[in-house]
Amino acid sequence: MSLEQELRAEFGEAVLEGTPGEYLTDFSRLPGSADAVVLPSTAEGATAVLAWCYERDVPVTPRGGGTGVAGGASPAGGVVLALDRLDRVRSFEPELWRIHVEAGVTTGRLQELVRGSGLMFAPDPGAPEQSQIGGNVATNAGGPHAFKYGVVGDWVTGLEAAIPPGELVSVGGAIRKDVAGYDLKRLLVGSEGTLGIITAVWLKLLPAPEVVLPVAIFHSGRREGCAALVNVISSGIVPAALEVLDAETLACGSGSFPGGMPEDARFLLLAEADGSRDEAERVAAELVEVAGAGAVAIQAPRDREGITALWRWRSGLAFAAIARRGGVVAEDIVVPVERVEEAMEETIAIGLRHDLVALAFGHAGDGNLHSSFLVDPQNVDELVRAEAAVEDLFELAVRLGGSVSGEHGLGLLKRGQLARQWGPRALELHGEIKRLFDPKNLLNPGKKLAGPLAPGEQPPLATRS
Amino acid sequence: MSLEQELRAEFGEAVLEGTPGEYLTDFSRLPGSADAVVLPSTAEGATAVLAWCYERDVPVTPRGGGTGVAGGASPAGGVVLALDRLDRVRSFEPELWRIHVEAGVTTGRLQELVRGSGLMFAPDPGAPEQSQIGGNVATNAGGPHAFKYGVVGDWVTGLEAAIPPGELVSVGGAIRKDVAGYDLKRLLVGSEGTLGIITAVWLKLLPAPEVVLPVAIFHSGRREGCAALVNVISSGIVPAALEVLDAETLACGSGSFPGGMPEDARFLLLAEADGSRDEAERVAAELVEVAGAGAVAIQAPRDREGITALWRWRSGLAFAAIARRGGVVAEDIVVPVERVEEAMEETIAIGLRHDLVALAFGHAGDGNLHSSFLVDPQNVDELVRAEAAVEDLFELAVRLGGSVSGEHGLGLLKRGQLARQWGPRALELHGEIKRLFDPKNLLNPGKKLAGPLAPGEQPPLATRS
């Protein structure tokens, strides 16, 4: 009997026929392989699958919406355990600002549901229509509004997960404070499915702001734009989002910019004010005053259509960049905010050194940049050069006092990079925590590995797009 | 040679002469004992002391300001490693909203420093003049403003700690996002000195609000007051703080209430609006409208003196409660916010059952109550009854879906209580994490123990005050 048949004998229709291709990769397009794909419908079912596999030494790759870009959901044999069918809202108490959802609920559905009650799930990780809340918690996803509202993990008050060898563990719940035990919850948040399989989460919500006012401030160049960025922060303004986009990024999106891209625009500082109408207007006006000095153009749409169009354009930029040459090799480095200018400049210089078109944009208020190299995904030589370029990028991030990953995680593609950033004892603890939760190394094996790569070993080539 | 002499031979004047009493207990007044008290002046020095002790199997109890109430800093032999002399501000960049401080800086000094630059350290744990930032991070302290701004750990972007067997480990830094490794930082936050000795932290700051407007709304009873509490939340108002105080608590503080306690006041909902002047005024007006319906009195001071007096009165309540009978046995349970009324009611009932005067007050927006039993600390019989009462209290918290500790931690006094709250596998992981960081069990031994107590074993009697 094949593994698939054995699993079907035990778990019936939870086991798919064959291994459909969409379960074998993620947005990294890394080609994975699996012997079976299982879609349990309950947390207990997911736990039983984990226990079954653990007993038989079968690797298990947990999978959310598959929108990761670091290859974290790319399986290497064994079982893909997809959370798609764990999609129940277990409870929703809008009057108490909280919701209890299973891991497979898409982030978009969650956001729509809570918006209908005048609330918001404050973080806004990308690809909401496809990404699932379990995956967003497992990667501790970020997004533009992390500047004011923090990352996904900051909103998790409780978490349920299947832990090897196959037990369903629950910590926290519908409570806003808890210091009774070591923070197992935060250890599972961002662990990329290597310590446990998140099956459900309790989330804090917030009353939605009355209005949300974006302010797009175009500058003539990087230096001017980054000076405006630092000015905003040092002026004590607290925007909800504080994004930057460099000249090459703007070039990718110039055709689709609502109303046409202003002439001479070589840098965009995209900020957002939110709150009550008066409060948002006050902050928006301050943003224009402080960041608009010397700007080549300022656009501050006030109607719902204009606002939606602007953010839709922003969301589409990653795809516009891909469209340029067919692929991008992009990372999500973090630097202290005053080093954003230097990191953006160096990104371009690294591209030049490796004969690649480079661009940088991202969540600048948090110092979190999407530094990207445009590539033709069929051109292996380009991919090899792009890999060399991202190595330089990681070196840069760490040299500037930052991190190799702000929101995508290590996955498969960044394995070994943590060794640049942490000392030997921290790396050792990292490995020991993995062994403690998953002594057989069967849970998403090969992912979020901290240690340096063996000589000659290197991660697979991928476009991360 | 005594241990003290041996240590002095190695570490010179960092080792105190004798073991002064103030280093042998904390606010729990639990009498501890130690063979030596060491006050290193640098993180490297602290690490060297830990390494020295670890090699010789000498227990080490880390100590901050000694303001804990769970006996977490109460030593049982070996070395007290006090952080008092690690009191440097390593860097302060007000224009970038961040500061890098050593563990021994008092929370009050930190707050004063950042306030001088128009910023705030958003959480406000108690006893700021004496408590140290390292201790506040090690206990993940809360306070009234956690409702809007979260707990201390939410503001830590980087952390340096001495980890057994004696290495200085640093994770994170002056960066606002980082998902490169497992969240070692959050594992050390709230670990109460049992996994490592925090020597320095990087903190995020926020621009201080223009104004802070408290609103004190007095109700005729618990039911009316708790209805007002839930109304505030369900109305979508976001106050900075949302506190409650029951009739017995008000009785303790009635003599000192600024301007005199209103007649018929049997419950106080103390909320605070902050932000720009307009925003704070708007929120304060909403608070009065929503929570003031049916109130017996409303006081909303607008001058700095009145505001300061109100919060000073609030801060002094714990001491006013102690003054009633000489001591209190108080805990910091958490329940879902809609169960606050029930938890307050049950606190009184538990007191009656054990023939003790009980009261409850606390950070109700977070469901975090200080349920307290007034005792004469010389009366052993009362202390025994109070211990039985807090057992009932922990049972209550867990039965209502809550936690045995929202901000004080387990320390020595709550050891074993986590077993009510977590399942066997989570408890097992808790113990394994401890063994992983501290295989010889020398770091603050006996504290934050999760497992159930041995038959007949019980924590020492203490007044927690």
User: What's the pLDDT tens digit per position in B146-195?
Assistant: 999 999 999 999 999 999 999 999 999 999 999 999 999 999 999 999 99
Q: Is B303 exposed, middle or buried (0-12, 13-18, 19+ CB in 10 A)?
A: exposed
CA separation for the pair A25, A464 (Å, rounded): 11
d(CA B343, CA B350): 10
Partners of B403 on chain A (C-beta within 8 Å) are 172, 175, 177-180
Residues of B in contact with A397 (CB under 8 A): none
Q: Which residues of B touch A142 (CB under 8 A)?
A: 177
Give the pLDDT score at A316: 87
Structure-block tokens of residue B226? 């708790």
- Asked if B236 lies within 8 A of A367 by C-beta distance, the reply is no
Helices (H), A400-457: 418-421, 424-437
- The amino acid sitting at B405 is S
Answer whether A432 sits within 8 Å of B436, measured CB to CB: yes
Query: CB atoms < 10 A from the CB of A266, how many?
Result: 17
Out of A153, A366, A423, whose CB is closest to B169? A423
Q: Under a CB-based contact definition with an 8 Å cutoff, are residues A231 and A291 in contact?
A: yes
Work out the minimum CA distance from B368 to partner chain A, whole angstroms. 7
Predicted pLDDT of residue A450: 86
Matching residue, tokens 């900075």 = B240
Q: How far apart are CA B32 and CA B51, in angstroms?
A: 23
Of A182, A367, A407, nearest to B175 by CB-CB distance is A367
The dihedral built from the CA positions of residue B105, B110, B116 and B119, taken in this order, carries a sign that is positive
Q: Which residues of B195-211 are buried (b: 16+ CB within 10 A; e: fewer)?
A: bbbbbbbbbbbbbbbeb
Q: Do B421 and A181 touch (CB under 8 A)?
A: yes
* Angstrom distance (rounded) from CA B96 to CA B75: 39
Residue A440 CB neighbours (<10 A) = 15
The span from the CA of A40 to the CA of A85, in Å, is 6
Phi and psi at residue A162, to the nearest 5° = -85, 120
Residues of A in contact with B171 (CB under 8 A): 422, 426
Cα(B85)–Cα(B73) distance, integer angstroms = 17
The verdict on a CB contact (< 8 Å) between A363 and B177 is yes
Q: Which of A146, A417, A429 sits opposite B436 (nearest CB)?
A: A429
- Contact between A211 and B182 under an 8 Å Cβ cutoff? The reply is no
10-residue mean pLDDT series, chain A (465 residues): 96 96 91 96 98 98 95 94 98 98 98 98 92 98 95 98 98 97 98 98 98 97 98 97 97 90 95 97 97 95 92 87 92 97 98 98 97 95 96 98 96 93 96 97 94 66 64
Max CA distance (Å), chain B: 71
* CB distance A124 to A84 below 8 Å: no
Using N-to-C axis directions, what is the helix angle for A277-291 and B277-291, rounded to 10°?
170
Q: Is B355 exposed, middle or buried (0-12, 13-18, 19+ CB in 10 A)?
A: exposed
Facing residue for B367 by CB, picked from A176, A405, A430? A176
- Nearest Cα to A163, choosing from A185, A180, A179? A185
- Residue B175: closest CA among chain A residues belongs to which residue? A336
Three-class DSSP category at A207:
strand
Contact in structure between B286 and B235 (CB atoms under 8 Å): yes
**Pairing between β-strand A368-375 and β-strand A357-363 as defined by DSSP bridges:** antiparallel
Contact B403 A180 (CB under 8 A): yes
Question: What is the CB neighbour count within 10 angstroms for residue A308?
Answer: 13
Q: How far apart are CA A175 and CA B395, in angstroms?
A: 16
Q: Quick check: A187 and B186 CB within 8 A?
A: yes
Among the partner residues B118, B182, B410, nearest to A180 by beta-carbon distance = B410
What value, to the nearest 5°, has the Cα angle with vertex B187 and ends B40 and A450? 100
User: Any idea which residue has 């605070």 for tokens?
Assistant: B272
Q: How many CA atoms lie within 13 A of A230 on its CB side?
A: 16
CA-closest candidate to residue A403, choices B175, B186, B450, B215: B175
Tell me how far the alpha carbon of residue A213 is from its chain's centroid.
Answer: 24
Distance CA B214, CA B207 (A): 19
In this structure, what token pair is assigned to residue A260?
């046409």
The token pair that represents A389 in the structure block: 């370029």
CB distance B179–A409 less than 8 Å? yes
- Tell me the one-letter amino acid at B76: A
The first and second tokens of residue A461, run together, are 């080539």
Find the radius of gyration of the CA atoms of chain B. Answer: 22
Q: For residue B136, what are its two tokens? A: 């506040």
* Helix ranges restricted to H, B235-303: 247-253, 277-291
Give per-residue pLDDT as tens, B83-138. Answer: 999 999 999 999 999 999 999 999 999 999 999 999 999 999 988 999 999 999 99
pLDDT of chain B, 465 residues: tens digit per residue: 899 999 999 999 999 999 999 999 998 888 899 999 999 999 999 999 999 999 999 999 999 999 999 999 999 899 999 999 999 999 999 999 999 999 999 999 999 999 999 999 999 998 899 999 999 999 999 999 999 999 999 999 999 999 999 999 999 999 999 999 999 999 999 999 999 999 999 999 999 999 999 999 999 999 999 999 999 999 999 999 999 999 999 999 988 999 899 999 999 999 999 999 999 999 999 999 999 999 999 999 999 899 999 988 988 888 899 999 999 999 999 999 999 999 999 999 999 999 999 999 999 999 999 999 999 999 999 999 999 999 999 999 999 999 999 999 999 999 899 999 999 999 999 999 999 999 999 999 999 998 766 666 666 666 665
Interface with A, mutate which of B182, B287, B444 (most A CBs under 10 A)? B182
DSSP code for B153: G
CB-count exposure of residue A278 (10 Å: 0-12, 13-18, 19+): middle
